Amino acid sequence: MSKNEIFTKLNSIFRDVFDDKTIMVSESTSAADIEDWDSLSHIILISAIEDEFGVRFNMKDVLNMKNVGEMADILAEMIGKHIS
């Protein structure tokens, strides 16, 4: 799966979770950039991403994600492809 494909799916998930069709995530997007991104929505977001990609994050990965770019990198590794 390419980086663009991962971000296309992530954008869709973020728009659904935050009920905001204008959200466009990038590598540097973090919780500080999305007004409603709090701890509860983070749990919902992680669950939605796991369901969409068919993966399960470990707690260390979830706690270490500083932005969407790191999330995409972890997803790429879990899917078995390195994105560049």
The reply to whether 11 falls in a domain is yes
Report the pLDDT value the prediction gives residue 48, as an integer from 0 to 100.
Answer: 98
pTM for the model: 0.90
The reply to whether 26 falls in a domain is yes
The reply to whether 59 falls in a domain is yes
Classify residue 79 by burial, with Cβ atoms within 10 Å: 0-12, 13-18, 19+: middle
Residue 15 belongs to what domain range? 3-79
The reply to whether 84 falls in a domain is no
**CATH assignment of the domain containing 60:** 1.10.1200.10
Report the pLDDT value the prediction gives residue 3, as an integer from 0 to 100.
Answer: 87
Distance CA(70)–CA(7), nearest Å, equals: 12
Please list the pLDDT of the chain residue by residue as tens digits (84 residues).
Answer: 888 999 999 999 999 999 999 999 999 999 999 999 999 999 999 999 999 999 999 999 998 899 999 999 999 999 885 444
Helices (H), 1-84: 3-17, 39-53, 59-64, 68-79
Question: How many folded domains does the chain comprise?
Answer: 1
The reply to whether 28 falls in a domain is yes
